[in-house]
Amino acid sequence: MPLREGEAIVLRTYRLGEADKIVSLFTRPFGRLRAAAAGAQRARTRYGGTLEPLSYIRVWFYERENRDLVRINSTELVESFFDMQKDYRMQVAAQYVAEVAERFFPERQANDRAFRLLLGVLRAMKRSGELGAPLLYFDYWLLRLEGFLPDLTRCAACGRVLDDGGYYGPASEGLCCADCRTPTTPRAVAASALELAESARGVTPEQWLGTSKPAAVCAAARRFLEDLIEAHAEKKLITRELLDAGV
């Protein structure tokens, strides 16, 4: 069986028996994969500390016939995001990014823009020590890349410009204005939050972090985008509750 190789971000690891681990990876050339890492639970493992959640690694692995799990042969650390996760808030934020990636990126579908988004957001968190602004950037681009981002500037029903903010509900595809709102669109999002979210368009994570964002507006924008993400995930996101619990 051929040995394959590529860059990857470790999304999560699970114990497998006494000594092994299952690793959920988002690889650059092959998309999301689940891999078995033999002996990874042992104190002295050939993987060293590379299989920590959110590590950016290079991985060599074998495909196995008729099996979902690939088998990791070796790994090499490219960049660690371990230290920043000693801060519990950062750890939860990183786990949120990993949970959303697992939910949205299908297995075995390469997506280079999604890979760059994950890496860019992790680096932004690590460099700035902030999580509100990086997560807002992540939420906005995740929805855009997946084709779920509604028009943030105009009412989906009448086309009016959303100068006074918009309204939405758990099942709504887009935003509507005050005149078009119905009992199915009970939640409001302020114009300032929509404008801030929209400003993530056309900038890199570095450029995005270069300007300060009012924390309350950032939080309002995230609440709206994360409602959309959760609606499309069709399941409650475990880490979102932790993030909301004052993290």
**Binding positions for Zn ion, rule: CB under 5 A:** 155, 157-158, 160, 177, 180
Dihedral sign for Cα 83, 88, 89, 94, please: positive
Query: Least distance (Å) from Zn ion to the CB of residue 182?
Result: 11
Q: Looking at beta carbons only, is 35 or 162 nearer to Zn ion?
A: 162
* Least distance between Zn ion and beta carbon 247 (Å): 35
Q: How far is the CB of 201 from Zn ion (least distance, A)?
A: 22
Cα 185 to chain center, whole Å?
Answer: 26
- Nearer to Zn ion by Cβ, of 133 and 193: the residue is 193
Give the nearest distance from C-beta 166 to Zn ion in angstroms: 9
Name the minimum Å distance from CB 168 to Zn ion.
12
Q: Which helix (H) or strand (E) holds 97?
A: helix 88-104
Q: How many CA atoms lie within 13 A of 173 on its CB side?
A: 3
CA dihedral 77→82→84→88, nearest 10 degrees, is 160
Q: Collapsing DSSP states into helix, strand and coil, what is residue 20? A: strand
C-alpha distances (whole Å) from 149 to each of 78, 111, 146, 166, 241 are 32, 18, 8, 14, 22
Q: Which is nearer to Zn ion, 182 or 207 (CB)?
A: 182
164: nearest Cα among 140, 183, 136, 189: 189
Distance of CA 182 to the CA centre of its chain: 31
Closest approach, Cβ 152 to Zn ion, in A, equals 14
Residue number with CB closer to Zn ion (59 or 177): 177
Closer of 9 and 162 to Zn ion (Cβ): 162
* CB closer to Zn ion, 26 vs 168: 168
